[in-house]
Amino acid sequence: MIPTTKIYLPESEMPTHWYNVAADLPNPPAPYCAPDGTPVPPEAMLAIFPEEILKQEMSAERWIPIPEPVREALTMWRPSPLYRAHRLEKMLGTPAKIYYKNEAVSPAGSHKPNSAVPQAYYNRQAGIRRLTTETGAGQWGSSLALAGQMFGIDVRIYMVKISYEQKPYRRSMMTTWGAEVFPSPTDMTNAGRAVLAADPNSNGSLGIAISEAVEEAASRADTNYALGSVLNHVLLHQTIIGLEAKKQLAIAGDYPDMVFAPCGGGSNFGGIAFPFLADNATGKQVRLVAVEPSSCPSLTKGVYTYDFGDTAGLTPMMKMYTLGHNFMPPGIHAGGLRYHGASALVSQLYHEKLIEATSVGQLETFAAGVLFAKSEGIVPAPESCHAIAAMIREAKACAKTGEAKTLLFNLSGHGHFDMTSYDRYLQGELTDFDYPEEAIKASLADLPSFAKV
């Protein structure tokens, strides 16, 4: 009798509602603020987001219905399979039971389309036919390109120039799905022109690309903006991952002791972890672990205060664990999750000790990715490798204690477009890098006075 590897959920069993963790927070979420410390009302963001998205951003309802056209669009790849990692367990010699949710099966290769699809839908419902966004390596940009195609929305993507030049394959993918892609900084926005005036050879950064996309959306009535992580509504859309996982674990007759997910902006972690937090509110005790790179350690080494979402300071300020919006991850860092802060929801939960966080160096990260590829086959995205590495630590601990814990992690994406990072690792070109405390203090220095730490 061959043990079951993949647990599928029929399309008819796909969740009908997203789970909104804001309903189960012990304390109300901190409001968004202007640089003078006064709260920013949601209406202020109507220039770039549709009303329905803003409602979700501010909602305190526990369950928010997923519109039927969104559910139908998601069946393109959802429900995603849950895997029991028999082969990895064997290779680790652990009594732990390891499960992973495979979000790499989406056409864009990651969990990102889970939010791109509803964002495109709500914008289209609001009469919007054009969206702008930014992308670094391209996971979010390709997801929005796909979603825009599904709902008849034109998508313009500002792609960080160095990625545009060095990682052309994701750009090709976005173009194949019909999106426009420009290397940022461009000369099409004030933000871009200002950067180019100071440095015509700028390689660009995620912060600059966000500023360009937001500026264009704010200045054109026919155009909105879409963000791939950090914001509450994005994390809300991603909870479909954890909700499905719970149903699939029930089919397997199991329930996790610990859940691991990579954490950059937070959509990946929030997506799989929040639905289990709902169970903790009713008596369960699942440990939820956000895993971040030691070279970009916002939760484990950052400060909990108000900061901007982008480099140029065009976004409202959010209360979050941050390394400072001028933070630049070191060039040696190859594993993604480069955002300077963590989402407000993840940050608050961490501050209130309802979730845990840990950091992993990149050598351990890629070693975990290679071990996973050799046992389970799938070459994981470098982001996903962070969760795998932290989970492996626990599985090895179980091997010592003999405990048969049930461990779940989010395989957020595949690494097909990240093979250069694997190459660098396999050729010994990578080293670990712990982001120094002094550099964090320095990058936090220019916060507005009300947010000073």
Sites of contact with a copy of itself (CB under 8 A): 2, 4-6, 8, 11-12, 68, 71-72, 75-77, 87, 105-109, 146, 149-150, 168-169, 172-173, 175-178, 370, 373-374, 376-379, 416-417, 419-420, 422-423, 426
Q: 180 near 155, Cβ under 8 Å?
A: yes
**In the complex with a copy of itself, which residue's Cβ is closer, 62 or 129?**
129
Shortest reach from residue 425's CB to a copy of itself, in Å: 9
Rounded Cα distance, 51 and 41, in Å? 13
Closest CA to 291 of 230, 365, 349: 365
Rounded Cα distance, 398 and 401, in Å? 5
**In the complex with a copy of itself, which residue's Cβ is closer, 105 or 389?**
105
Query: Parallel, antiparallel, or unpaired: how do β-strands 154-160 and 180-184 relate?
Result: parallel
Shortest reach from residue 251's CB to a copy of itself, in Å: 11
Amino acid at 8: Y
How many angstroms separate the most distant Cα atoms in the chain?
67
Query: Parallel, antiparallel, or unpaired: how do β-strands 82-84 and 356-360 relate?
Result: unpaired
Rounded Cα distance, 359 and 362, in Å? 10
Rounded Cα distance, 265 and 341, in Å? 6
Query: Parallel, antiparallel, or unpaired: how do β-strands 317-322 and 130-135 relate?
Result: unpaired
- What tokens does 387 get? 């969760």
**In the complex with a copy of itself, which residue's Cβ is closer, 10 or 28?**
10
**In the complex with a copy of itself, which residue's Cβ is closer, 25 or 373?**
373
- What tokens does 318 get? 């959010």
Shortest reach from residue 107's CB to a copy of itself, in Å: 3
Shortest reach from residue 93's CB to a copy of itself, in Å: 16
Shortest reach from residue 172's CB to a copy of itself, in Å: 4
Neighbours of 70 (CB within 10 A): 22
Shortest reach from residue 81's CB to a copy of itself, in Å: 9
**In the complex with a copy of itself, which residue's Cβ is closer, 73 or 208?**
73
**In the complex with a copy of itself, which residue's Cβ is closer, 361 or 369?**
369
